[in-house]
Structure 1
């Protein structure tokens, strides 16, 4: 199995933006020391849930600050930017890092970002497939021209051209996006808001259209001396920063939304994911692999609102949990 950490760069109570970003960099270095395979950084705009507005920029910094671990975006929001610009950045990072960069992309949401960046609601609702195809064409070609609905340009050379295209994974939260990924042979990145049964169903739907793929599951992980202690800590601390963060999702068109209850969400995450003593966490990870067939898991490790607890959690996961499941035989 393969294990990574997921770092949204959330702003904890009492932190400045720089504190959140510095903690994210420190956590990535700790993950490399602890033996994780990869680290994934998120992109958010205008909210405290994540104060990193450019996942590829932060990924580039982390690639320079590490030597072994792979670094990916989870995700770069394709609806907010030109796919050629994102593809160029991905190619650049792949080349200068010796192939350690992984590009995770997502549709995003109907948020105010679309207004600020001028891409508009149509790019989110109707334009994701074209944007994805243009990005993939750029990463796999020597020259590209385009004549589509949202993009149109004469043939130009691809510079820089990666030796091999960086791996691309697509965040999937709907059957429609699953089908787009499957038709293009791209692995899915499945979110932490769903459990093993729903992840297995998504994998099955994908398999009806595409072939086998190295999908990635996202979860929450926190280790303590007992399950009771771990759950108590997460349920107490996670809502303190998650609640204000989730309030940052503002629809561009005023559509009604119902924000998640942060306390209920914390309870759900503790039920679904590896939160507990080391043996509890190992058993949960093994059960996810068996139920879904997914052999790559990335874990939100900084859910407790503390730099010190985050670093301790990463170290304990690496030393006490991952060795128990790394060679799990799978389904």
Structure 2
């Protein structure tokens, strides 16, 4: 497919680390491998690295994306590190803002905070925030977070938070990214002018529809229409597309089967169900999984169809530490230069 140069204008490409707990991998080794992958991503020329947060499950073994981001920032010097995402329903928004401000200052601005509503999972029970915070407390939490990240001062007289005015120490001016998987959250982000993080479970059509909805909600409001949204995708390169797809079909079910089963609802509702083989085929079909040339074409197609100029690639799909590092290196050497060569003014 022939695509114009404008499709990749000012494009950023990052890595997305779930800290995936494949069978037989000790969580400590996974976490060490995650920081090693971020160091490798910096060497390979990626713009940023984003860390997922999950609790009490093997799908992702990092329960504090902010903590692991701090480690990664201390081991790197150029790359931006973000959370994708910190679960806002399970923690106090002002406390999270304080942690983000620390990382912002000590990294010279290389930290970005991504937040999400999360789900009705066990952490709501364990941490005591409850299902009500999940079901209707996200707007209140997000507004407090944004006020705190805008330097404060911050006070609360809402349903879930009530406290006197306090000054933020240290102050930081940061714009959080919001994971959007529902129309209500898209509207919240649009009304506040916050960029969205769009998950790798949806393809170009769904991402395009979500961005269009965002822009419709932002019309006439004091919002940033065309904010710098981020799209997540599976990213895996091999000598041929057939080889890459075959390897993903072999490895991903070993992780996704037990991993997705770890999503245990807190309130007795049925757990989520997904046909794993069908899901893997979907991921391989809609994302850059294949030869270097195929990966470049997929990235450029997504940029052209959705208007996204920031993609983050989930690079851990092989479930092997050495293969993950090889995947990062090959994406950096064989895919990123080709994408960036299509940008106006690129060397």
TM-score by length of 2: 0.93
| Larger displacement relative to structure 2 (71-80 or 239-248) | 239-248
Alpha-carbon deviations, 1:125-155, whole Å to 9, x = none? Answer: 1000000000001111342221111101111
Structure 1: stretches of 5+ with no match in the other structure: none
Q: How does 1:9-88 map to 2 (within 5 A)?
A: 9-88=19-98
Shift of 1:323: 1.1
**Partner of 1:278 in structure 2?**
292
CA distance in 2, matches of 1:22, 1:298: 20
CA distance in 1, matches of 2:13, 2:214: 22
Shift of 1:259: 2.1
CA distance in 1, matches of 2:278, 2:38: 28
Q: 1:185 aligned to 180, 193, 207, which one?
A: 193
Tell me, yes or no, if structure 1 residue 233 matches structure 2 residue 243: no
**Partner of 2:17 in structure 1?**
7
Tell me, yes or no, if structure 1 residue 302 matches structure 2 residue 302: no
Q: How does 1:157-236 map to 2 (within 5 A)?
A: 157-162=167-172, 165-210=173-218, 211-236=225-250
CA distance in 1, matches of 2:287, 2:338: 16
CA distance in 2, matches of 1:143, 1:258: 40
CA distance in 2, matches of 1:166, 1:66: 21
Q: 1:95 aligned to 95, 105, 113, which one?
A: 105
| Larger displacement relative to structure 2 (76-85 or 149-158) | 149-158
CA distance in 1, matches of 2:163, 2:98: 16
Q: Aligned to 2:327, what secondary structure does the other structure show?
A: helix
Structure 2: stretches of 5+ with no match in the other structure: 1-10, 219-224
Alpha-carbon deviations, 1:86-123, whole Å to 9, x = none? Answer: 00000110011000000000000011110111000010
Q: How does 1:240-251 map to 2 (within 5 A)?
A: 240-251=254-265
CA distance in 1, matches of 2:71, 2:339: 30
Shift of 1:159: 0.5
CA distance in 1, matches of 2:194, 2:339: 26
**Partner of 1:128 in structure 2?**
138
CA distance in 2, matches of 1:105, 1:142: 19
Shift of 1:34: 0.2
Q: Aligned to 1:209, what secondary structure does the other structure show?
A: helix
Tell me, yes or no, if structure 1 residue 106 matches structure 2 residue 116: yes
Alpha-carbon deviations, 1:210-247, whole Å to 9, x = none? Answer: 21110000000110111000000001111112211111
Shift of 1:329: 5.2
Q: 2:163 aligned to 145, 153, 178, which one?
A: 153
Shift of 1:261: 2.3
Task: Assess if the C-alpha contact under 8 Å between 2:41 and 2:329 holds in 1.
Answer: yes
Q: Aligned to 1:252, what secondary structure does the other structure show?
A: coil
Distance 1:272 1:95, change over 3 A: same
**RMSD, aligned CA:** 1.1
CA distance in 1, matches of 2:154, 2:175: 20
Task: Assess if the C-alpha contact under 8 Å between 2:263 and 2:272 holds in 1.
Answer: no
Task: Assess if the C-alpha contact under 8 Å between 1:286 and 1:328 holds in 2.
Answer: no
Shift of 1:167: 3.3
Task: Assess if the C-alpha contact under 8 Å between 2:146 and 2:175 holds in 1.
Answer: no
CA distance in 2, matches of 1:179, 1:265: 27
